[in-house]
Structure 1
């Protein structure tokens, strides 16, 4: 039997929620099938932070690397999903300590019982910076979350992003983990090779691990 796959990407369409002030998804048809035109061709405008996405260091560091310059290996490989559902505004170490033994290099935290894919959540849960520090000390190279940011929505200092910058970690945001049981998977969430961009949309999936 083929390994089960969980699609952990929210739908992207006109009206998909974005950070207030960010560029929403828009689409228009540059060409449509008609006499003399054999194809439909669309034109899209969007922030690279719409939907499930990978932040580049450039997003939080004026001298940081662009998303297209990053090594892809952090976005592909063994991953652990940890549940910290409705535990408060910050994911503290106590909320995830039950699931950190033999931690793989990629960690995704579920905070929602049901992700609000149809609306902006200004009260989103974020990572406590100390939690990221401790995950990195256990070997984590990528962290992810099912909210729009690893920092509180109203943060002006982006403390958790600055920990990511200092430790050279990678981050995925805006995932949908509603149907994913706590446990280990293979993560596949490759960013586009956008050579000057501060982030990239990803089609993030988890694949069931199979025995050798």
Structure 2
């Protein structure tokens, strides 16, 4: 069990932050930005879960994802490989966690109406919020992709997980929009009333 007693330490007052290991880094460091954006994704998922009373199974999926995202953030906060001197092994996102997302994508996508156009974020409040989560997860994915280029020792599973996560969130947004029935479709070049599209 993790115990966190101090809310403020003042160690970040100089614009740096600590990782699980290694030297402190500037708060604008790419690695810090990456796991900060993972945390932002998690916070939006928490907000979305306030709207899942009619979707208990989806709420359970989102709850598991929230826990996984803490694992993923810890993975990103622990650069480099373990050494024999480490008191315990690093927490890493595992392929089984990514596989769970794939299983949920297949499960929920099976009931969706086929896509006939791109979808505009909206429909229901929950679906709209899930689209926000999808875009924040994509931003986290882009940051991790960049991080892998400059720090290739970063776990590639973090990138795979985030890629599947945004796919799953897209599918769940459609599910909460009446399995796609309430999706707002993009109408290319429609300069009139989009509600009639």
Question: Shorter-chain TM-score category?
Answer: under 0.3
Q: When you count strand as a share of all residues, which structure comes out higher?
A: 1
Higher gyration radius (CA): 2
Give the TM-score normalised by structure 2.
Answer: 0.26
